[in-house]
Copies of this chain bind each other. A is one copy, B any other.
């Protein structure tokens, strides 16, 4: 017999016999409150879709007084995270404490107790993933972390399940909403970096201490996690080259546009025959490319697989509810695993050991955008071009400008062909020491996605 939606008795009977899994939430901050709100809002729908019920049974935080805008039975609150893990009513532990020290301890304790863990903690995974993934394996306990990269966008799931048939050739991501918001407003309103940062802080789009975001570290954490998944080994943070957007000049956004590009803080992950490249830096992206259309606090990840070709995933990379959407999707997966005793169905990280070598930063190749400050004299460009040429860097195009009134130096934009990092460093060390050069040359990568 085919059951139809109109026969509603079917739905309610099923509900009665539904297995229920208890969740303990460690860290009752923005995202923790979002997870509770999401389960309150859509718990019935999730139960209908999975045939399983997810119930928040304990919530731990040091501050239990602040109003989080969500109703919770006060009897489930505690200040003791460890007690939550030990509670037999808690089947799944959600770590939303953040930071590296306590978060690591509670996750290790939960995994060792055989309890599956869901976390959104990118810093912890990027820095201690090696240890956590191994303990999860040894303990046969699930460790899920969809919310750690690109918030609500299901990129982890897409990468390791949806694209499982693919060697990942490259990934390019706009993965920090704060930076993308700042760059979008700087470009659209022609404002200096500091002014937009201050405004972003007022609006709550940037932290009071913004360095994790604007210096590219948060993006690098996410890039390391993605690269680890794609290539089957924990990519060490030391091997990730990171540059942020601090002090970026709106001038460069304007010149980039003239050249047909937009500047994005781009995570770049590439597979080369001699190693994996992972870097994060302000990068010129062609205006016509999908990634150039990602504006404001939105995130996007482009994944290039050898079978599927280019795919792209876009959405909100942070925020109370988008992040909660990812955490709850992991809870549903873990609950399904518990219900069918298929823990480690998708291990936290499969070491497939196919790759493992990291490419050295100095060997990474890119096309570059150079903004030089040169004395306004006919021979100067020849002098600079010669240094570039001697270092194996060939020029694709040049825009020469007139100096501002009362100024001896003019901005000159040079777009180069592909050359290795060490050559750029050598050449610019020489160029910036020339007496015809008025200020340190600004350099950014150009990515044409070819």
Q: Specify which chain B residues have a CB less than 8 angstroms from the CB of A288 in the assembled complex.
A: 293
| Per-residue B-contact encoding for A1-44, CB less than 8 Å = 1, 0 else | 01111111011000000000000000000000000001001100
Task: Choose among B41, B51, B233, B307 the residue that contacts A325 (Cβ–Cβ < 8 A).
Answer: B307
Which residues does chain B contribute within 8 Å of A431, judged by CB atoms?
Answer: none
* Shortest beta-carbon distance from A314 to chain B in Å: 4
Q: Is A340 an interface residue (CB 8 A)?
A: yes
Please tell me the number of chain A residues within 8 Å of chain B, measured between CB atoms: 75
Are B340 and A164 in touch, CB under 8 angstroms? no
- Which among A154, A164, A341 has the greatest number of chain B C-beta atoms within 10 A? A164
The answer, among B42, B306, B345, B355, for a CB contact under 8 Å with A342, is B345
A74 within 8 A of B: no
Partner of A329, one of B161, B345, B350: B161
Contact present for B309 and A321 (CB under 8 Å): yes
| B315:A2 contact, CB within 8 angstroms | no
CB <8 Å contact, A336 and B329 = no
Whether the Cβ atoms of B41 and A307 lie closer than 8 Å is yes
Closest chain B residue, CB of each to CB of A12: B353
Q: Which of A45, A49, A311 has the most CB of B within 10 A?
A: A311
- Give the residues in chain B near A158, CB-CB below 8 Å: 154, 157-158, 162
In the bound complex, how far is the Cα of B317 from the Cα of A449, in angstroms? 20
How many whole Å from A26's CB to the nearest CB in chain B?
19
Q: Are A11 and B352 in contact, CB atoms less than 8 angstroms apart?
A: yes
Contact A321 B340 (CB under 8 A): no
Are A333's CB and B161's CB within 8 A?
A: yes
Give me 11 other A-B pairs in contact (C-beta within 8 A), A4-B353, A165-B332, A342-B345 excluded. Answer: A5-B355, A10-B351, A11-B353, A46-B165, A49-B350, A152-B308, A157-B157, A157-B162, A308-B325, A340-B342, A342-B342
